[in-house]
Structure 1
Amino acid sequence: MERDWFAVGWKMLVVRGVIGMVFGILAIVWPLETATALALLWGFWALFDGIGLLAAAFRPEARGSRIWLVLMGVIALVAAFFAIFSPGVAAKALTWILGIWLIVRGVFELVGAFTRKLTTTPRWLILLSAAFSVLLGILFVANPGAAVVGIAVFLGVVALMWGAVFVLGGLAARRELNRSETSSASLGPQ
């Protein structure tokens, strides 16, 4: 079981970690470009999703849901068009939608904290989570441009830390591999 981690190969873990750290540094240094790139990636995903939905709408087995598939496909294509040709606006719009979602989520958490019988999670923890969700949502809605930059920097920090974990894991795997090879070589043929 513990050999599964080492089966990936320590070099691959280090390479993945270095790539993650480079991405993290780039996202922190250029947050606007990172947000634009993420909006573009989402735009291309929406484009392919829209094309797939439209293709599915005209398959023979899509009789009852054809209208919905066409509608969703067209919406995806319109969203893709805006995200690809105006990624900055798309990133701000997605941040605004995320802000609204956080506010709604916080309100539901707040209501749930007082209406449900709590068995495992303390009420104060749910209230803290609700307050954090609402506060973050309000900040996102009030200034989506700054929120986009904040999200990009946050992703950069996470990628940087994740990359460091992979590098350290790879180096630990290398050390363990060297240790096991040394101990099996010292035993020699019996």
Structure 2
Amino acid sequence: MDRELFTSSWKMMVVRGVVGIVFGILVIIWPIETGLALMVLFGFWALLEGISLLVSAVRPSTEGSRLGRALLGLIALVVAFFAIFSPGVTAQTLTWIFGIWLIIRGLFEIFTAFSSYRLTPRWILLLGAALSILLGVFFVANPGTGAVGIAIWLGLIALCWGLVFVVMGFMLRRERSSPAPANPAPA
């Protein structure tokens, strides 16, 4: 691994890992609340985006389509309203959209498997397509459960990365505390 990525002390790496582990466990324990909180945060981001686009649309020095920015700004404000005041509906809707995207992606993967002369074996592309389509159908058919599943996956990823950081922190500590090997004298 690149040492520049881990320029902090071993203690900081362990702290980052412990925070990741705690975050992961909390997300796994409370996936619905996590999903709702993420939707509210997304709503505030969309609110800022909408305001920014509307301000940009009314400025005289702005290049490009003012009408386009104004329209996108209004759409962002509507999305923000739903995400902040009805995060459950927003999470289900986004999960449904994600499911449709996965189904379409899977269909394109099937097409690619039969129309491309890639180095990748065809069966791998078909397997990926099948997984995309199955997951997409699951999300479309069960958007609430799909949103909870995404939150649990987020928690598992945070938990795993937290463990990685804790282990790396202790490995860095051991490496820094061991005496440097002596260089043999030239003959």
Scaled by the length of structure 1, the TM-score of the pair is 0.91
User: Is contact 1:6-1:173 (8 Å) kept?
Assistant: no
Please list the CA deviations of residues 36-59 of structure 1 after superposition, one character each: whole Å capped at 9, or x if unmatched.
Answer: 011111111111111111111122
Aligned to 1:159: 158
Aligned to 1:56: 56
What percent of counterpart residues are identical?
58
Please list the CA deviations of residues 75-102 of structure 1 after superposition, one character each: whole Å capped at 9, or x if unmatched.
Answer: 0010000000011111111100100100
Distance in 2 separating the partners of 1:6 and 1:135: 38
Distance in 2 separating the partners of 1:168 and 1:160: 12
Distance in 2 separating the partners of 1:4 and 1:63: 40
Is 1:111 matched up with 2:111? yes
Check 1:69–1:161 CA distance in 2 against 1; reply closer, same or farther (3 A cut).
same
Distance in 2 separating the partners of 1:51 and 1:150: 32
Deviation at 1:141, TM superposition (A): 0.3
**Greater Cα offset, 127-136 or 63-72:** 63-72
Check 1:147–1:6 CA distance in 2 against 1; reply closer, same or farther (3 A cut).
closer
Residue from 175, 178, 183 that aligns with 2:180: 183
Distance in 2 separating the partners of 1:57 and 1:141: 35
Aligned to 1:66: 66
Matches within 5 A, 1:78-89: 78-89=78-89
Where does the alignment leave 5 or more consecutive residues of structure 1 unmatched? none
Check 1:160–1:3 CA distance in 2 against 1; reply closer, same or farther (3 A cut).
closer
Amino acid at match of 1:56: S
Distance in 2 separating the partners of 1:4 and 1:104: 39
Distance in 1 separating the partners of 2:51 and 2:107: 36
Where does the alignment leave 5 or more consecutive residues of structure 2 unmatched? none
Deviation at 1:3, TM superposition (A): 4.9
Aligned to 2:61, the other structure's residue is in SS state helix
Deviation at 1:4, TM superposition (A): 3.0
Aligned to 2:95: 95
Check 1:27–1:55 CA distance in 2 against 1; reply closer, same or farther (3 A cut).
same
Amino acid at match of 2:115: T
Scaled by the length of structure 2, the TM-score of the pair is 0.92
Is 1:38 matched up with 2:35? no
Aligned to 1:62, the other structure's residue is in SS state coil
Aligned to 1:17: 17
Check 1:131–1:33 CA distance in 2 against 1; reply closer, same or farther (3 A cut).
same
More helix per residue: 1
Aligned to 1:121, the other structure's residue is in SS state coil
User: Aligned pairs, how many?
Assistant: 183
User: How large is the Cα RMSD of the aligned pairs?
Assistant: 1.8
